[in-house]
């Protein structure tokens, strides 16, 4: 049911984009190509919503790691056409419409507490110690004050 709603939302917003024009116009093939490119070029990338408690918890769990964050709007019903189509494309890759979605080295690692190799998403990876093994810690850079 949700997958159908997501597809309908993306289609309707796409039609509106064609009627109104830019910035609402998008090409679904380009969206998918861009998504695959983002997942490939970033060692770790997570797709989130701004108002999602699951996304907030996932970002908190990942705060010490070097992860690219792509926010697809505030919530599913407040997405723009490109973001809606991105969500459809993510569902095609992962089998789920829910966000967040974490990819590491091009492989889907799950959502906050579902999917992925552990079956329990980011929470499962954190509990079994895998986050430290698959993600790079953020680098803390230290500098010296200039001479006065």
- pLDDT for 11-25, tens place per residue? 665 565 555 555 555
Domains for the chain: give ranges and CATH numbers: 2-134 (3.40.30.10)
Cβ atoms of residues 25 and 89 within 8 Å: no
**Residue of 124, 70, 129 whose CA lies nearest to 101:** 70
Q: Residue 12 in contact with residue 18, Cβ under 8 Å?
A: no
Instruction: Note if the bond before 100 is cis, omega within 30 degrees.
Output: yes
What pTM does this model have?
0.76
More confident position, 9 or 113: 113
pLDDT at residue 81, as a whole number:
80
Range of weakest confidence among 4-18, 32-46, 122-136: 4-18
Plot region of 110 (φ>0 → left; ψ -120 to 50 → alpha; else → beta): left
pLDDT digit string (tens) for 109-133?
A: 999 999 988 889 999 999 999 999 9
pLDDT at 85: 87
Question: What are the pLDDT digits (tens) for 67-105?
Answer: 999 999 876 565 678 888 899 899 999 999 899 999 999
> 5: which 2 tokens?
């709603």
């Amino acid at each position: 049911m949700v997958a159908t709603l997501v597809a309908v939302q993306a289609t309707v917003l796409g039609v509106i984009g064609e009627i109104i024009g830019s910035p609402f116009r998008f090409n679904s093939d380009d969206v998918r190509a861009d998504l695959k490119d983002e997942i490939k070029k970033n060692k770790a990338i997570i797709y989130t919503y701004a108002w999602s408690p699951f996304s907030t918890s996932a970002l908190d769990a990942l705060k010490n790691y070097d992860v690219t964050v792509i926010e697809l709007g505030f919530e599913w019903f407040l997405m723009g056409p490109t973001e809606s189509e991105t969500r459809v494309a993510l569902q095609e890759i992962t089998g789920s419409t829910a966000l967040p979605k974490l990819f590491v080295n091009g492989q889907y690692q799950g959502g906050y507490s579902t999917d992925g190799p552990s079956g329990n998403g980011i929470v499962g990876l954190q509990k079994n110690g895998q986050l430290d093994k698959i993600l790079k810690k953020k680098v803390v850079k230290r500098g010296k004050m200039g001479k006065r």
